[in-house]
Amino acid sequence: MTISRELTAKEKLKPLFDDPLKLSFGRNFTDHMFSMDYCGSGWHNPSIKPFQPLVLSPAANVFHYSQEVFEGQKAYKSKKNEILLFRPQENARRLNRSLQRLCMPEIPEEMFLEAECELLKLEERWIPTQMGTSLYMRPTVIGTEAALGVKPSNEYLFYIILSPVGPYFKEGFNPIGLWVSDTYSRAGSGGTGEAKTGGNYAGSLLATREATQKGYSQVLWLDAGEHRFVEEVGAMNIFFILDGKLVTPELGGTILHGITRKSVLELAPELGLAVEERRIAIEEVIDEIHSGKLTEIFGAGTAAVISPVGKIAFQGREYIINGNQTGPWAQKLFATLTGIQYGEIEDKHGWVYKVK
């Protein structure tokens, strides 16, 4: 596709950060963004332009009926000065699955990748190089038709914005605490739980606020039907080292198809760790913490990569995992994944996509 360009004058470019490790997540944005429109006959008007506010009608579909999906990715800089992406084709496919679920038009994979690459090449100076830092990418699609009435929009906007980031959690790569919610639900059977759409996150905010007020970093979500079976943690997938195996809840429509999750499941057997995908009840988690068979818990997602869990709170009691220390498997998987992402470990899987 031919991408038009409207670039910011050099003297008006934003100054770079002093210490990328101190950057707050998602608070700083680069000079430019990508956008493209849809109006019945397909995607058109691809352009790169200065980062700017969107101009939308107060009646735009996204404000009233929440047709909105997004992706989360990171760009890394290797020691060879290469711009690297981690499995971006999987992001393109997941975006399209989310779009299908919300009755929105799909974006061809090659068009998605070209848009990202062209924007990244222009904004290369914003990619930090320190381990633990990256350039976070937020591709987003919203319904823009100005019409009230519950139906799919006929008009859409696809845009990509970029944000240089440091570590996601203020704790860094140290164990976090989880509060188990047996009242609130993240997603129900037949709903939009496996789609990456804003409504899922809006529904999680109240429980998350209660968790932080109690001194915990994230919510450990249980299923909506029985409030018994573990599903996700915050905005991440959840893993347990249980009886020497890597155990994680199976996908079934309510759990996001995490790309880091998929990578962990593919890496683990190569590192000598057996994998099991199945339902796991919160009672089993508590029992096996007591028995000593559950030795580690960690979350996995794009923002934090691997986030070890040191304690969980359930029904007024707190349970400590591995002495509130990072476990060896969380450490090994984190080191392996980040090593591949930064180009410091050989990529035997073809996961790393070189932009330049």
The 10s digit of each residue's pLDDT in 135-167 is 999 999 999 999 999 999 999 999 999 999 998
Element (H, E) at 95: helix 88-101
Is residue 346 included in any domain, yes or no? no
Is residue 351 included in any domain, yes or no? no
Total domains in the chain come to 2
Pairing between strand 218-222 and 176-181? Answer: parallel
CATH number of the domain to which 13 belongs: 3.30.470.10
Domain boundary pick from 165, 187, 202: 165
So what's the pLDDT on residue 173? 79
**Shared domain check, 193 and 332:** yes
**Shared domain check, 224 and 150:** no
Question: 141-153: b or e for each residue (b if 16 or more CB lie within 10 Å)?
Answer: bbbbbeeeeeeeb
Distance, CA of 242 to CA of 328 (rounded, Å): 13
**Shared domain check, 182 and 156:** no
**Shared domain check, 123 and 39:** yes
| φ, ψ dihedrals at 34, nearest 5° | -110, 145
Joined together, the tokens standing for residue 302 give 């794009």
**Secondary structure (3-state) at 340:** helix
**Shared domain check, 197 and 107:** no
Is residue 348 included in any domain, yes or no? no
**Shared domain check, 337 and 307:** yes
Burial class of residue 217 in the structure, from the number of CB atoms within 10 Å of its CB (0-12 exposed, 13-18 middle, 19+ buried): buried
Do residues 192 and 200 touch, judged by C-beta distance below 8 A? yes
Positive or negative torsion for Cα 40, 44, 48, 50: negative
Given a cut of 50, the residues of the chain with pLDDT beneath it are: none
**Shared domain check, 151 and 192:** no
Is residue 96 included in any domain, yes or no? yes
Structural domain range at position 29: 4-165
**Shared domain check, 83 and 22:** yes
Is residue 195 included in any domain, yes or no? yes
CATH number of the domain to which 326 belongs: 3.20.10.10
**Shared domain check, 153 and 216:** no
Positive or negative torsion for Cα 53, 234, 331, 250: negative
CB atoms within 10 A of CB 331: 16
Tally of residues, the chain:
356
pLDDT tens for 93-149 read: 999 999 999 999 999 999 999 999 999 999 999 999 999 999 999 999 999 999 999
So what's the pLDDT on residue 168? 81
Domain boundary pick from 113, 138, 165: 165
**Shared domain check, 335 and 239:** yes
Domain boundary pick from 138, 165, 192: 165
**Shared domain check, 322 and 238:** yes
Do residues 140 and 101 touch, judged by C-beta distance below 8 A? no
**Shared domain check, 116 and 60:** yes
**Secondary structure (3-state) at 246:** strand
Is residue 248 included in any domain, yes or no? yes
Is residue 331 included in any domain, yes or no? yes
Is residue 170 included in any domain, yes or no? no
CB atoms within 10 A of CB 40: 7
